């Protein structure tokens, strides 16, 4: 699986051997936006067109487009892990939110670069 980015939107891309096509879908929003292409260049153009069409359609309908992420996340942790991360944040001189943002950001960058 590969990823693409355009205007703040990301897409998952897979290859369909059966159809001999690259197939993509916008990630991180509830609206279902898909696109496809036979070559990487076609796929990239279709992705950008899909995002542009989505934004134009939302504007025409007077509906705000969904943003990929709001910035609000809720986790359920075991009490032991909650205590550990709270202590790590306090010892680091930051709030739990700041600590989690830093640690999760580093983990995401590591994951996305591999």
Q: How many domains does the chain have?
A: 2
pLDDT tens profile 32-58: 999 999 999 999 999 999 999 999 999
Give the predicted TM-score (pTM) of the model.
Answer: 0.64
25: CB partners within 8 A, 6+ apart: 11, 12, 32, 33, 34, 35
Together in a domain, 50 and 101:
no
pLDDT beyond 70 at 113: yes
Look up the domain containing 14 and give its range: 2-61
pLDDT beyond 60 at 1: no
Alpha-carbon distance of 46 to 34, in angstroms, equals 9
Together in a domain, 56 and 6:
yes
Residue 68 pLDDT class (50, 70, 90 cuts):
confident
Does residue 21 fall inside a structural domain?
A: yes
Together in a domain, 100 and 57:
no
Does residue 73 fall inside a structural domain?
A: no
pLDDT at 73: 82
């Amino acid at each position: 699986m590969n990823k693409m980015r355009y205007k703040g939107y990301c897409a998952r891309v897979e290859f369909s051997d059966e159809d001999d096509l690259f197939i993509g879908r916008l990630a991180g929003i509830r609206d279902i936006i898909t696109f496809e292409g036979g070559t990487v260049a076609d796929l990239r153009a279709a992705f950008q067109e899909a995002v542009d069409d989505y934004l134009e359609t939302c504007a025409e309908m007077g509906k705000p487009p969904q943003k990929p992420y709001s910035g609000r996340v809720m986790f359920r942790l075991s009490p032991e892990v909650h205590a550990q991360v709270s202590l790590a944040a306090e010892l680091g001189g930051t709030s739990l939110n700041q600590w989690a943002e830093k640690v999760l950001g580093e983990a995401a960058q590591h994951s996305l670069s591999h």
